[in-house]
Structure formats: structure tokens, C-alpha cells
Chains A and B, each alone.
Chain A
Amino acid sequence: MAYTAQLKELVKIVEKTRPSRVGVDHPRMTPEERQEVLERFHPDFIDEGFRRIRVGVDKGSRLPQQMADIFESRSRLDGVELDLSKSDYEVDVLVIGGGGAGAAAALEAHGGGASVMIATKLRFGDANTMMAQGGIQAAVKANDRPDIHYLDIMGGGRFENIPELVRAAVLDAPQVIAWLEKLGAMFDKDEQGNMLAIHGGGTSRKRMHAARDYTGAEIMRTLRDEAYNREIKVVEFCPAVELLLDAKGRAAGAVLFNLETEEYLIARAKTVIIATGGSGRLHFQDFPTSNHYGATADGLILGYRAGAKTIYADSVQYHPTGGAYPPQLLGLLVTEKTRGLGATPLNVKGEQFVFHLETRDVESSAIIRECQERKLGVPLPTGVPAVWLDSPLIEIIHGEGTIERQLPAMLRQFARFDVDIRKDPMLIYPTLHYQNGGLLIDEHARSTVENLYVAGEAAGGIHGRNRLMGNSLLDILVFGRRAGRDAAAASREVTPGPVSLEHVQSYQRELEEAGITGDRVSPLLLPHYTHR
């Protein structure tokens, strides 16, 4: 889908202004300007996008509308007859979700001597982890230290992070990298074996470790392969639809739903780890998303119905550069490295309107302002808003061939739809990228419900209200491993007893008392698209 004749005309304007823009830096915003653009245009500040949840342990707290819908829905098991005395699976530790956090948890729980099972919604590894390109942070180099990393994370999160969680993340980080190295993950290294490390947004040291531009994929496929090597039981296409609690209200398993046969299965466990990832597929405020197909916040509602508290669940990260055109690339991530190499955002007049390396939240807000308020977006045949990202600048600044060397995945992705990003600018708009908050955990990844652990993007508190690039791949492994170890140890103390869904029924009663009726059910499991 090459550019239309009309777009080609507009490209000419960009080409015309290009010579005058080379080597000229757009001024950075002042702190006041940043605050203003955030408060007026960042989706987190758009009040209509949110409402207060009317039921549950966090009653009264603010949630994105679509997440509140999920929270204020019936259970899928409402009206379903289940014999809870039977069991289809019995294990020590049940891991729900087969992404990076789940795989790490399973490996460590297995290493701790527990019998482990991973139940996951799609295939093992169909997950946001597989899609991460940029890298993973760890303070490894001689000029860096965990406390410097700590300060970077706190500053990025606007100092609202939970200190104990940040401490755990930065102190475990070098161990996590060593663990991956030993498992044979192929990091970018120099000849001596030292890892190459670069900057990411908000880092004060170069501590982003990468595996080309497939960092998440490399981590995911390595951990998955190792889980298979150790013969850890994996049940695919069987999402959890509800947790099971024992008589003392402790997590004791889950009800799974076989997507293919549509039967419910009972998995009993002594401890349970939620590792179900993010919520991009809820499309808050109608944004497109960079997330995988199964990112529907299932773990949050499972945990919430069981009484687990949330934190910062109203805080969402929008990545400034999601694809806008060709339509096949809508929402897909254009890696931050593209701007890192010098590509700048431009309006329809070919003018730069924001410094290209503001933080993600500010950059996104400025792009939204350019389209919404100033009406200087690039008109697309599909009607979605967009601005230019002047990728050909990269070749002018760093020399011909740079894009092919440094951004091969991007070049390939756009070329598949007949856009050569070396010659023509890209069309982008912010995309829903990451769930900053989630279920509240402590430094052992324990939720506020006994024997229930949460790790990865489903957990909250580590990143405050804004995660920096490279700290998510880190946190899923840090807290995945911690969850696995603690859950394995704790499982030894548990004597299994009868399980129930009483908490689900009482949540339903609470909904009815609040006057919330209707047929909506959650978890969503899979989004439903019609493209009509």
C-alpha cells in the first residue's frame, strides 16, 4: 500500500523543508510547558476516559472506562454448574500466563523443587514479551551502580514508585542478565564478551542490553526452550477465567477454559502466580495498540474478584510512535531508536513542532495537540490522525545505509507494505503501549491475597506512573523469578482442602447491590474485531 497521490504531494512539502531542518535542534520544552501539554492532552488526564469503580476492595478508585467495564462485569462462570470436588490438574504451583514473567516464574518454582504447570491463553510465548525490541536495563558497567539505576527509575516514575520494589529490581538486575547469559540467550557483546550497552529514554548511564532488535523474542524463546527441556507442564489455549480460593480465603487454583472444546477445567494448586501481562487490547479511549492479541487485563479482574488490591491502574503508557499508515501497520510499534537516530516528528506543513526526544508521555501529548488542537495533522484516506516521522533524515545525518544496519526490522516491516522509509517519511500517531500499574505486590511478588503472587506487566508499583524503556523486560524477570521461588517454598506449607468460588458469588452480589446488571462478562479473553 504505497502512499496515495495526495500523500505523495504532501511528502514533497516535507522534502522541501528538509534541507533547512538538517542540523537544527528544535528547542526542548520547559518544565511548565511539559506540564501544560500533559494536563491538556495526555489521555491519562482526559477525565471522560475514566470512571470510579463501584465495587470491590478498591471501590471509589479511578479506572480507564474500558477497564472499569471489565471490573463491573459478570463472571463467565455465572450460571455455570461446576463440580469443584473434582480436579483436572493438581500441582504445587500454578502459573497463569505464558509470557516472560510466567516462564521465569515456572523455571524458578521448578528449580525450587515444586511441581509446576503453566496455563496460558494462546501458545506459550504468544505474549508482549515476544515483541519487545529495544532492550533490558541492568547496572553492569564499571561507571554504573544499582543505586544510580534506582534513582533513574524513581525519577522516571515521578517518585511515586514503591521503594522496596525498585530496590529489588535494581539489585537483581545483574543476576537476571547473568541467568540469561548462562541459559544461552544471545546478547550483543564485544569480542571480550562484555555486553554492549546503550542509552534509553531517561537513563543516566548506558545500561540498555540488547539482542539486536529482537531482545524480547530472544529472552522468550530461550526461557520457553528451557521450560520444555525441564519438562514443565504447559497447557496452551486454556486461559484462566476465575481463581479458586480455599476455606481460609487463600488462592488454591483456577478454573480454566479450553478455548477449543469450550469446557471448563479445574486446576488445583497450593500457590498461584498471575502472569497475564497487560491490557492494550482494551483500546482505552479508542487508541490502537502495540500489544499482542491476548493483552486484555484478564489477570487484573481475576485477582480483583478474589480481593487483591490494585495500584495505579489508571496510569497508561502511550508510545508516541505507533504506525498510522499504511493501515496494515496501525498501532504497531515504531521503535524509539528511530527517533534516537534523529528522525523528527513533523506536521502537515513539514515543520517540526516538538523536540524529538522528549519523554514518551510528553512527546505523545504534543503529537495529539498538533492534530487535535492545531489541526496540523496529515490527512489520511483512512481518517485516522497522524503526523510525519522524517526517517530519511537518519540517512542524511549518519550516512546512507544506516537504516538498513540499525533498523532492519522497521525497514522490513514498512517495505512489506511498499513504503521505503529510507526515501519517504513514516506516518505515526501515539499507540497504547503499556500498563504502568496493576495488582499491588510486595518485594516477594505477593499480592494482598494469601498464596497469590503477581509478576510482570499485571503487577503494579515498580514503575510508579511512568515506566522507562528497558525496565519492563527487567521487572518481569526479577519478579517472575522471585514469585517462582517464594511460591515454591510457600507451597510446602500448604495442606490442600476444599476450594470454592464463593468470592465470585459475593462479588456478583455486590454488583447487583450497586445496581450494575447486564450481560457483559469478563475476563474478555480475546478481543473481537470486525473491521467494519
Chain B
Amino acid sequence: MALGLEASLGDTAITTKLDAVVNWGRQYSLWPFVYGTACCAIEFMSTAASQYDISRWGAEVVRFSPRQADLLLVCGTISYKQAPVLKRIYEQMPDPKWVVAMGACASSGGIYDNYCTVQGIDTIIPVDIYISGCPPRPEAVLDALIKIQDQIKGESVLKDRHKDFKGILD
């Protein structure tokens, strides 16, 4: 039985917190922008294809314009040549936005500890979730998605999460 305000409104309305309702919506309608550069992107293709089917988590609306996306999936190696492009794409995405570093390369440079490879994209843009593996299996990508959803649950709509981030290109 409902108490307080809900009691007087009957079955037609429920009361909740703004954060809760907004986050609920955000969680299940993430629109990914796939920044696929290398081998990891092939595993993302598998994640999106029928067998793993990313749409079971409501994230199948893959956008190819950063302006329409709120989940940046960086799948693959980022070289220094590529870094300004990645940063630009990130900046073009409207807030709120989340970033997943898929695979060893995006997370840390992976096996490419050399002159041309960025040693982890978190030196350029803020990252929320890292996925290990070279490449990670599709299940791991789905796991990361679930983790982002969990994280969103606890966020506040009023807080700017990455206000103080400073990368090597800033």
C-alpha cells in the first residue's frame, strides 16, 4: 500500500528521485559510438552480431556521429597520429558520456610499447571502464556494458564527472 503523496494520487502516479528516473532511462538506452581502429573492432562486430547481440542490453543503436552518441567504445590501438582525432570525437559527444577502453591497447598500449603508440587512452580522455584482453571476448564487452549501467545507477545528474581531467593534449 502506498503512503504519503502516492496514497493521495492513487495508481496513476509514482514518486521517485530525479536521479533515479533519469539514470534508469540512461542505463538502458546507451547509444554507442564505436571508435574501432584495429583488431578489437572485429570482436566488437561479433558483439553486435546475432550470437552475442548487444541489443539485449539496449545498446544496439550504434551511432556513427559522435553528436548522437553517449557511450564511446574505443576498440583498438591509438597511435599518436590518431590521438587528436580521438580527442576531437570525444569532445563532440554531448554530456553525459561514458568511455570504455576495449582491450590492452586502448587501456595501456598493450604489446606496443614503442615510439608511436599511446600508452593508454586515459592519457588523452577520461575512461570509465577498462576491458582486459587482446582482444577481449564479446562476453567481456557485454560485461563492461553492464558495469557502465551499474555505474550510471549511482550517478547524479547534477555532477560533472570529469571537470578536472587533463590529458597530454590539453
B partners with A: no
